[in-house]
Amino acid sequence: MQPFDYLIPGDHAEASALLAAGNGRVRPFMGGTDLLIRTRGGFVRPQAVVDLKGLPGMKEIRPGDDGWLIIGAACTMNQVAMHPLVQARYDLLVQAERGAHAGAGFLGAVTQAQHPVGGMLLVGSVFGRPGGLILIGLLAALGTTITTMVIAAIGTWFGGAVDGVIQRITEVNMVLPLLPILIMVGTLYQRSIWVMLGLVILLSIFGSGIKTYRAVFLQIKESSYIEAARAYGASNWRIIFVYMVPRIIPMLIPQMVVLIPSYVFLEASLAYLGLGDPTLPTWGKIINDANVGGALNNRQYYWVLEPAILLMITGLGFTMVGYALDRIFNPRLREM
């Protein structure tokens, strides 16, 4: 996390002056967690943070003119609901706080009373945004599968030192633990989904798939049509990309589809550990927020069970589609 100055103003005028002089690089802090999460993730890089919690009136609750209720920005929802004035004259606010704390229903929002009103924890829907999560898995599977296939074809065709180097890199990479590496990067560097996606693709390129594709390419390399292509003078790259790679695309597609849920589960694991992208409301982050907010202690089991069930349905669905495509592209499996 980039270092920043922590400023504590004495009054409202000083706070306004500090914020105005920052040209957008000075951020106010009211006690919530959003600013710290975004700063740690590298999404916000403030030069200074101005603490507004200690300013006069920030935690004050008092009646205003014409029936208005003045609530300080640093008041928590629990403080508002428990205030005698609010309980006596503003019963709707009390009911709203109780409904938010107990859970607002299947599509509701979870709010925690200990978070200030200006920085409350909010999870919009238990369904999250599955489209973004599946897109991440699709991009990772697509990038990993295609790159692995091309590298395996190059190593098989050229052989010798090229194939030897690729196989040694693959064997070293296969023993590297992917999840601990991602945890280390998310903890020490940043948790941007694009950084994580690029790292996943980079570490998965030289995976066990290279050896699988290599075994297939060794058979294709000895085919008669490859010998014919060499006889009429086809270049090495033309043979690789025109005659070798297209032959295993039917095998590539089912494997790519089956890989998608594995990357979806990987992102959910990181999000559950608190190392996912804080800007994406994925299923893993919903489970993490529910865990931090004490959903199980409050018997709000649906905030954990429903995202978990949706993750299982997603994995099962893509796996069944992959097996179905495998039977379509591989006619020998139809007889089994």
CATH for 130-335 is 1.10.3720.10
What is the predicted pLDDT for the residue at 288?
84
> Percent of the chain, pLDDT > 70?
83
Residue 239 pLDDT exceeds 50? yes
Structure-derived torsion over alpha carbons of residues 40, 43, 48, 53, reported in degrees to the nearest 10: -70
CA nearest 25: which of 44, 10, 38? 44
Structure-derived torsion over alpha carbons of residues 296, 299, 301, 302, reported in degrees to the nearest 10: -130
What integer is the mean pLDDT of 7-25? 81
Q: Does residue 218 contact residue 167 with C-beta atoms inside 8 Å?
A: no
Please tell me the least confidently modeled range out of 95-99, 196-200, 266-270: 95-99
Please tell me the least confidently modeled range out of 106-110, 274-278, 311-315: 106-110
CB-based contacts of 156: which residues, under 8 Å, 6+ apart? Answer: 163, 213, 214, 217, 218, 221, 244
Q: Does domain 5-51 have CATH number 3.30.43.10?
A: yes
Using the CB atoms, write b or e for 135-152: b if 16+ within 10 Å.
ebbbbbbebbbebbbbbb
Q: Which two tokens stand for residue 261?
A: 């849920």
How far is the CA of 67 from the CAs of 91, 132, 134, 220, 280, in angstroms?
A: 14, 45, 50, 83, 40
Please tell me the least confidently modeled range out of 37-46, 75-84, 258-267: 37-46
Would strands 48-51 and 69-71 be described as parallel, antiparallel, or unpaired?
Answer: unpaired
What integer is the mean pLDDT of 244-249? 88
What is the predicted pLDDT for the residue at 151?
93
Domain boundaries along the sequence of the chain:
5-51, 61-108, 130-335
What integer is the mean pLDDT of 307-326? 88
Cα gap 254→318, rounded to integer Å:
10
What is the predicted pLDDT for the residue at 333?
59
Strand partners, 249: none
Q: Residues 145-164: pLDDT tens digits?
A: 899 999 999 999 998 999 99
User: Residue 330's CB: how many other CB atoms inside 10 A?
Assistant: 13
Q: What is the DSSP string of 158-222?
A: H-HHHHHHHHHHHHHHHTS-HHHHHHHHHHHT---HHHHHHHHHHHHHTSTHHHHHHHHHHHHHT
Instruction: Name the helix (H) or strand (E) containing 235.
Output: none
Residue 331 pLDDT exceeds 70? no
pTM over 0.75: no
What is the predicted pLDDT for the residue at 103?
44
Straight-line distance from the first to the last Cα atom of the chain, in angstroms, rounded to the nearest whole number: 56
Q: Residues 112-150: pLDDT tens digits?
A: 333 333 333 333 344 445 556 778 788 888 888 899 999
Residue 245 pLDDT exceeds 80? yes
- Which is more confident, 110 or 285? 285
Please tell me the least confidently modeled range out of 229-233, 239-243, 253-257, 326-330: 326-330
What is the predicted pLDDT for the residue at 40?
66
Average pLDDT of the chain is 78
